[in-house]
Amino acid sequence: MTLDAHDKLLETVLQEYKILTEYERLQSEDLGGVYVTPSYENPFLWFGVIFVRGGMYKNGVFRFTIALPSRFPDDTKIPVVTFQSEVFHPLISPTDGLLDLTDAFPQWRPGDNHVWQILKFVQFIFQNLDDHMIQTAHVANNDACELLLESRSDFLQRVERCIEESQERLYDLPPIPDRNYICFDRFNPDVHGPVLESMKQNKQVEVTTPPSSGISWVRNGLFQPLSK
């Protein structure tokens, strides 16, 4: 191995270590209802899903991806958040699902800004939209913004349809063949019942469900993720 190749390999290893450290930092933050995991194939691609617990989008289940820039975390480019299905929201583009992060991060500062802050912003715009002053220049969905400001009842109807569609798609097969894609099973009493009881009693129990069946399941009618 040449010196240049060795240096390049070392640089790649160090970068992936920094990305892993960034991911581990999420564990110490209050991100209730938000689940994220890096792709098995690509450390620069993270899969996420948010179970909205309050606000106008309550009970919505929205999948998204986070694409890290090539020099992350030492890059001044902001990570890109893309929702996987149509979400009727002023800050989310109806054509490509891109979330406009400009309001929260007008400039990305390496070392000061982190992925967990992006996830907190995602939480906020779903659960506290009324508290967020949307800048006209940063609107990604003009129809959603106009309805929110001029016809709240019509806006809420569109949001409700969006929530229902998100629940219907919860169990869709992964669009990306990646073993770390976040999947959910429908609740099966025979398979998940013993695990649920062990969770209630804070006991350990052997889980025999194969990995391909998903990392979690959702209790019928509640759209709350449960996992061991």
- Per-residue pLDDT averaged across 99-104, rounded? 92
pLDDT of residue 9 exceeding 80: no
Return the higher-pLDDT residue of 213 and 8. Answer: 8
The pLDDT-based confidence of 224 (bands split at 50, 70, 90) is: low
Residue 214 has a pLDDT of 41
Residue 184 has a pLDDT of 86
pLDDT tens, residue by residue, 108-143? 999 899 999 999 999 999 999 988 778 777 899 999
Q: What secondary structure does DSSP assign to the chain, as a single string?
A: --HHHHHHHHHHHHHHHHHHHHHHHGGGS--TTEEEEE-SS-TTEEEEEEE--SSTTTT-EEEEEEEPPTTTTS-SSPPEEEESS----TTB-TTT-BB--TTT-SS--BTTB-HHHHHHHHHHHHH-GGG----GGG-S-HHHHHHHHH-HHHHHHHHHHHHHHHHHTTTPPPSS--TTS--EEEP-HHHHHHHHHHHHHT------S-GGG-SEEE-TTT--EE--
- Per-residue pLDDT averaged across 196-217, rounded? 55
The pLDDT-based confidence of 192 (bands split at 50, 70, 90) is: low
- Per-residue pLDDT averaged across 179-183, rounded? 91
The pTM assigned to this predicted structure is 0.81
